[in-house]
Amino acid sequence: MTLTTPGLLFPAISLLLLAYTNRFLVLAQLIRELNAREGDSIRPLVRAQIDNLRKRIKLIRFMQVWGVIAFLLCTLSMFALFIDVALTGVILFGASLCCLIVSLIISLYEIHISCDAIEIELQNIEKKPTS
């Protein structure tokens, strides 16, 4: 394996972390808006949304952690290859790929929960009387 092999993963991990950060920022903004809109009392629908948002925030944190670990291991892999310790470089690169896979699986689950949040909103719309 050459130094460029783990280097190919750098842009992918960087973009993935950027996407995770954007998801986090959108959720944080949504939570702030929900807090401002609800005031002192919380409707049952909002309670379900809060539970969903809390779960999604935790998942995004785990996605980011595993993504950063993947990025760090990829960097260490490149360093090991740079100083001519090929076996260590290969092992670190493999570990980096495994961490990236974990991050992506968590991301897939978070997307599933995101769809559940939309379903909560759709159920609320369906309960409204037709005019």
Residue-wise pLDDT tens digits, 86-122? 999 999 999 999 999 999 999 999 999 989 888 878 8
- Better pLDDT: 43 or 33: 33
d(CA 64, CA 21): 8
pLDDT at 26: 92
pLDDT at 24 over 90: yes
Question: Could you tell me the pTM of the whole model?
Answer: 0.84
Q: Is residue 30 a contact partner of residue 117, using CB atoms and an 8 Å limit?
A: no
- Residue indicated by tokens 């939309």: 118
d(CA 61, CA 59): 5
